[in-house]
Structure 1
Amino acid sequence: MTGLPVPVPDVRVRVQYVGACGPYAHIVAQFEPPGPDGGLELLSAVPEARLPAEYLPALREGLLEGLGGVACAVLITDGTFHEVDSSEFGYKIAGKQAGRAALIGAGLLPPAEAGALRWATWPGRLLPRARRLPPSGYSRRPG
């Protein structure tokens, strides 16, 4: 099993469907190279009132899937939940996206893979450029 070679700080994931009910999850995670035992180490520093422990097993499952066998230590430094829309499914999605983001941030996956991560951000992620509209009064049609 390989280990994460460098730290990847401030991986942020917010799973949220706009305008519809659906899974909601929000985490901020710090990824570090693994300890001597290897594997995935997961620790939450978020108070239970902000991120209930009942979602951590699903988050761990998603992280394992997203990391694809790469060992690391993960510290959850922030997170929130929604009383109605949060579910294990949402936190599994968040974990998977956070794991993939950490691999890209550490250089273990190509940056092009970032396009598949709808809800994740991390330092160094290049976001797609917004489509610029022409100034008002300007027309592209030949006149």
Structure 2
Amino acid sequence: MSRCLPVPVPDVCVRVKLNASACGPYAHIVVDFEPPGPSGGLELLSLLPERRLPSEYLPSLREGLGEGLDGVAATVLVTDGSFHDVDSSELGYKIAGQQAGRAALIGAGLLPSEAAATLRWATWPGMPRL
């Protein structure tokens, strides 16, 4: 039986910028995590129009979320985000998903607060300052 996210973790923001001065994977998302719905598993929903976050990046985001959540079931709602015509890529959104998923586990108390030090691009309300 899979574990479930026990509490909501809102406003997780991830902005991946691997190289600030040149091209590199870029991704920006703001997501709310909720305990899973009746079907369980990982559910990804986006409120953003295509011009804000093209649907081509959602499979990579979902893959990264699955890795970051490490088998913990959750509903994830994308509430904000952006992309760059040149620098955005599937890799950037996969990294963003991984970071967001780990942030949710820390925010929900499923990982120790010290694990926040490993998240380079993620922030959320109540994030531990180490």
Give 1:10's aligned residue. 11
Structure 1 vs Structure 2 CA RMSD: 0.8
Give 2:85's aligned residue. 83
TM-score under structure 2 length normalisation: 0.96
Deviant stretches of 4+, over 4 Å:
none
Give 1:126's aligned residue. 128
Query: Hey, what's the Cα distance between the residues in 1 that align with 2:9 and 2:122?
Result: 13
Question: Which structure would you say has the larger Rg?
Answer: 1
Query: Hey, what's the Cα distance between the residues in 2 that align with 1:104 and 1:126?
Result: 9
The alignment status of 1:67 with 2:69, answered yes or no, reads yes
Q: 1:58 aligns to what SS in structure 2?
A: helix
Give 1:141's aligned residue. none
Query: Hey, what's the Cα distance between the residues in 2 that align with 1:6 and 1:75?
Result: 14
TM-score under structure 1 length normalisation: 0.88
The count of residues paired between Structure 1 and Structure 2 equals 128
Q: Gaps (5+ residues) in structure 2?
A: none
| AA in 2 matched with 1:93 | I
Percentage of identical aligned residues: 73
Q: Gaps (5+ residues) in structure 1?
A: 129-143
